[in-house]
Chain A
Amino acid sequence: MSRRAALITLLVTVTVAWGSLIVTQSLGTTPRLGLDLQGGLSVLLEAPPGTDPEVLDKAVEIMRRRIEALGRVQEPEIAVTGLRSIEVQLPGVTDPDRALEAVGTIGQLAFRPVLEVSQFGASPLLLDAIEYEQATTTTTTTSTTTPGDATTTTVAGETTTTVAGETTTTTTETTTTTAAPELPDLTPVLPPGITICDPDQDLALQPGCVDGTTAITLSDDPTKEAWLADPDTGEIFHLAPAQVLGSDLADAEAGFIQQGASGTGVPFGVSTGGVGQWVVMLDFNSEGAVKFQEVTKELASYSLGDPRRRFAIVLDAVVQSAPQMDEEVSPEEGIAGGRAVITMGTAGTPEQAARDLAVVLRYGALPVVFSQPTVESISATLGSDSLRAGLIAGLGGLALVAVALLLYYRALGLIAVVGLTVFGSLVLTVFALLGQYQGVSLTLAGVAGIIVSIGITSDSYIVYYERIKEDVRAGRSMRAAIDHAFRRAFRTMLTADTVSLAAAVLLFILAVGSVKGFALALGIATVIDLLVAFFFTRPAVALAGFTRWGEGGRFSIRGAAGAAKEAVVLPGEAGK
């Protein structure tokens, strides 16, 4: 390697390594810490054999929503691992019990008749309350009628006319400006059995309660009325207690009804008859079939376009879909035979919509009961203790190795020490970037992997340096020895690092949990080791060979290689 090429390569490598570390650190991109280093809750959930992967994805989605609803969880990680396990990692969770409940319980599917629909992003209950407040203020100012209990019957629902809906719409238009500053009191319009949620208490102990400000049901109870939203359409529904449950459903499947094919059931979706459209076919069990027929009879008695002709499908407190009874469905017969079809219409992506809905229904029909093979809660102090211990051990190990290399290889040792900082900078940068863009976190096992890789990378230096010593002793000139030794040593490093890398890759693919984190750190470190050997060590040693460091005294390469007599003589000479 020529002096010029060596110098350029060396400068570029060192600039890239240290520069990238400084840049990432100053931009605040630090490695993302794993659960065991910052504290938190880790749960592995296992579904029974034969669980549909799509249903597993649905479960993950539900868990994620519930965890987000808990708040204060930074970056929860919920992912399907293996064939039928879900790994839940919740860093910084302070209340493991609530979090466990959120991921551990099953989402319930219910079919609820619709009582009211609001398109305005506000709960019908809230609108009722506003209307009630207005009515009472009118009572106090003008002393005219409209008593409060009239409004409450509107809420209770079943027997009112469509006029109720119209009145609500008009009142919102007038009240949005006036009543916005202070939220209306929900208490007077609450139906019996429904309470306002007490945020200080466990939601599970307050079934059916509604949020005091948004008037949305927080704790869904199928036996009580509920005010729930469909996030896709923005509609907020006032729903009657569930009439049919997920357990009444035997199966559901998405399908495409070909032109001319006879329907497999009576459609209860959009009223185009289902031919040439994407549909979801539902299959009820015998008990469900009876219940379903009863409800559909009742629903069909309302005229087309009335919200009460709609039947909402609710999974885990979210309205998934609320199709309307088709016009063919008669109030006398309902949908009989335990089979029904939901037609998806043609708007948007009906195929996707049909498939999604089928998954929701299947999830509800056969709820997955997860077992929890392992639960781990790490307190924040234990996490930070571990991090501190890892850092101290890592820095201490690095310092010891540096001292050993310096003592043993002298000038070459100094190069190795600088090389270790280049190596360390690159490893940190890679982990910072992986954490930022890939969500990879650094666990305690990963830290252990990095500490171990200090050994691997110093071995690369040792292999190379021993070769140089050997070649110098064999009588090669310094420069020839340096070049020749590198070619030989790099071959050895390549072979040995291939083995390490193979181990890391295989472990990463095949192992679970902490072993994976270890494998990742080891693999990254191995690759960086080779890069550092080629782009740092080679030019650095080559450059040293051109200077006094190559042929100088006790500290030089020659001095370390074994021409010891020279080194012994020199100090005496210097003293003269």
Chain B
Amino acid sequence: MSLLRRLYFGQTHFDFVGRRRWWFALSAVLVLISALALGIRGLNLSVDFVGGSLVECDNPAGASVADVRNALTGIGQSAARVQLSGGGAGVRVQTGELTEEAQDQLIATVAAVAGVTDLNQVSYQTVGPTFGRQVTESAVRALVVFLIVVAVFLWWRLEWRMALIALLEVLHDLVLTAGIYSLVGFEVTPATVIAVLTILGYSLYDTVVVFDKVHENVAERGERHTISALVNMSVNQVLMRSINTSLTTLLPVGSLLFVGSLLLGATTLREFALGLFVGVAAGTYSSMFLGSPLVAVWKEREEHWQRIRRRLGRKGAEDEFAARELEVLPEEEAAAVLPTATGAVPRPPRKRRRHR
């Protein structure tokens, strides 16, 4: 049975907990790289955070970046950042803070180079230096309150260890996303902040689904397996869901990304989609490869699970990894191995008649 087939029918048994050292090491390296990137390169903050002016308009004249830059040097704005958007169909110019006259001059110059005659067709944005700080502050405040509320909720709904690990995962995902933004040099805009907040939601959502499954499996067959085995079993059970959810999330996000980079006016969408893409991937990874093994490791130290491990050990049942046990519990072991062996699931006769 191929890997794809086993994935499709949810009959995988990857040992997530057993290879935890590899995953922990991988996460540690990624976090370290991200932290270094953040420390050394920093983030490329948009005009909303640092203050300044942003001018954006159509580009019927098909001006190149160099054309615009030359024109801007003529009015003493050589430090401006010039970008083409929508595959050259639009122009974006970002400068530091300007006086009103300088801004009018900037708008007129950009419009002239880009071939826009009606100045009202030029979009612009000016942001004072304190505004971005306010946005950031309000976002960070929202973030902290949100995390506290979620932690309390998870504590109540599951248990405090899982709540703590869920927060750790969120932190991990955030650092990785920020690190990638820093490394690649994506611009951080308010849309990015939104994307990051969404990532938090996804990351937690994913974690909750996995932990919920662990919780359920513990309740259903807690005495028969070690916690590591139960966690492994749970992650394998939700593996397909995780992959599918990431896929159905990444499809619309990919669509945003594609449309955003092709069409003018969708730069917000693109910035949003980039952040989301990275974050969703990190969230899926961390809930399966980081959070779940952590739960297993931590709970393995508890008296209750130690006792179960000892008891199982006395019985000679070595089941560090019980995903196989799951296959034995239902009647399907044979069906999984031998595709020809039908019989496991009784087929209603009605349907056969129909096909004759």
Contacts and interface: CB of A to CB of B under 8 A. Distances in A.
Given A373-B131, A565-B339, A498 B191 contact: no
A396 B238 CA distance: 27
Given A448-B191, A455-B245, A475-B331, A382 B265 contact: yes
Interface string A26-46: 000000000010010000100
Nearest to A445: B194
Given A382-B264, A383-B265, A548-B354, A507 B249 contact: no
Interface stretch (B12-20, B28-36, B205-213, B310-318): B205-213
Interface stretch (A286-294, A303-311, A508-516): A508-516
Given A382-B264, A473-B10, A393 B248 contact: no
Nearest to A501: B201
A566 B266 contact: no
A501 B252 CA distance: 20
Contacts of B120: 94-96, 379
B241 to A, nearest CB: 5
B240 interface: yes
Interface stretch (A110-118, A168-176, A399-407): A399-407
A552 B258 CA distance: 38
Interface string B185-219: 00000110110011011101100110011001000
B328 interface: no
A455 B253 contact: yes
A42 B256 CA distance: 25
A385 B208 contact: no
Interface stretch (A48-56, A131-139, A149-157, A488-496): A488-496
Contact of B340 (A371, A522, A565): A565
Contact of A389 (B124, B266, B342): B266
Given A393-B260, A455-B253, A510 B145 contact: yes
B57 interface: yes
A529 to B, nearest CB: 12
Chain A: number of interface residues, binned into ranges: 35 or more
A405 B248 contact: yes
Interface in B273-293: 276
A205 interface: no
A288 B55 CA distance: 46
Interface residues of B, number: 91
Contacts of B164: none
A496 B127 contact: no
Interface in A446-462: 447-449, 451-452, 454-456, 458-459, 462
Contact of B190 (A39, A498, A513): A513
A491 B342 contact: no
A376 B252 CA distance: 28
A373 B138 CA distance: 15
Interface string A436-451: 0000000011011101
For B58, B134, B141, B149, the residue with the greatest tally of chain A CB atoms inside 10 Å of its CB is B134
Contact of B146 (A389, A408, A502): A502
A513 B38 CA distance: 27
B263 A500 contact: no
Choose among A455, A470, A518 the residue with the greatest number of B CB atoms under 10 Å from its CB.
Answer: A455
Interface in B299-356: 330-332, 339-340, 342, 344-345, 347-348, 350-352, 354-356
Contact of A445 (B191, B265, B345, B356): B191
A347 interface: no
Contacts of B238: 466
B125 interface: yes
A506 B145 contact: yes
Nearest to B166: A499
B25 interface: no
B45 interface: no
B37 interface: no
B281 to A, nearest CB: 13
By secondary structure, the B interface counts as helix
A455 B263 contact: no
B249 A373 contact: no
A165 interface: no
A507 B248 contact: no
B211 to A, nearest CB: 9
Contact of A573 (B237, B258, B356): B356
Nearest to A492: B212
Nearest to A506: B146
A502 B355 CA distance: 50
A331 interface: no
Contact of A397 (B86, B123, B135, B252): B252
B142 interface: yes
Contacts of B134: 373, 512
Contacts of A470: 10, 237
Interface string B119-156: 01111111110110011001101100110011001000
Contacts of A451: 252-253, 255-256
A504 B161 CA distance: 25
A503 interface: yes
Interface string A311-337: 000000000000000000000000000
B336 to A, nearest CB: 9
A548 B209 CA distance: 31
A570 interface: yes
A44 B58 CA distance: 26
Contact of B345 (A392, A458, A475, A495): A475
Nearest to B48: A374
Contact of B266 (A385, A473, A492): A385
Given A400-B255, A514-B191, A463 B209 contact: yes
Contact of A377 (B58, B125, B241, B252): B125
A212 interface: no
A381 interface: yes
B128 A373 contact: yes
Nearest to A400: B251
Given A393-B260, A565-B342, A377 B138 contact: no
Contact of B123 (A378, A455, A498, A506): A378
B105 interface: no
B244 interface: yes
A389 B153 contact: no
Contact of A382 (B56, B253, B347, B351): B56
Contacts of B41: none
Contacts of A548: 351, 354
B264 to A, nearest CB: 5
Contacts of B146: 502-503, 506-507
B248 A377 contact: no
Given A379-B123, A470-B237, A510-B141, A390 B245 contact: no
B297 interface: no
From B191, B194, B347, residue with most partner A Cβ within 10 Å: B194
B247 interface: yes
29 contacts: A372-B128, A374-B48, A374-B128, A376-B123, A379-B120, A389-B260, A389-B264, A392-B259, A393-B258, A396-B259, A447-B269, A452-B253, A455-B202, A456-B205, A458-B245, A459-B249, A462-B248, A466-B238, A475-B332, A495-B157, A503-B201, A506-B146, A507-B146, A510-B141, A511-B142, A518-B198, A551-B351, A564-B339, A573-B356
Q: Which 6 A-B pairs have the closest CB atoms?
A: A397-B252, A385-B265, A455-B249, A389-B266, A373-B131, A510-B142
Given A389-B263, A466-B244, A564-B9, 19 more contacts: A372-B128, A378-B123, A379-B120, A381-B265, A389-B265, A389-B266, A396-B252, A400-B255, A448-B269, A452-B276, A458-B245, A473-B332, A475-B332, A507-B197, A511-B138, A512-B135, A548-B354, A553-B351, A565-B340
Interface of B: 5, 8-11, 48, 56-58, 86, 120-128, 130-131, 134-135, 138-139, 141-142, 145-146, 149-150, 153, 157, 190-191, 193-194, 197-198, 200-202, 204-205, 208-209, 212-213, 216, 237-238, 240-241, 244-245, 247-249, 251-256, 258-260, 263-266, 268-269, 272, 276, 330-332, 339-340, 342, 344-345, 347-348, 350-352, 354-356
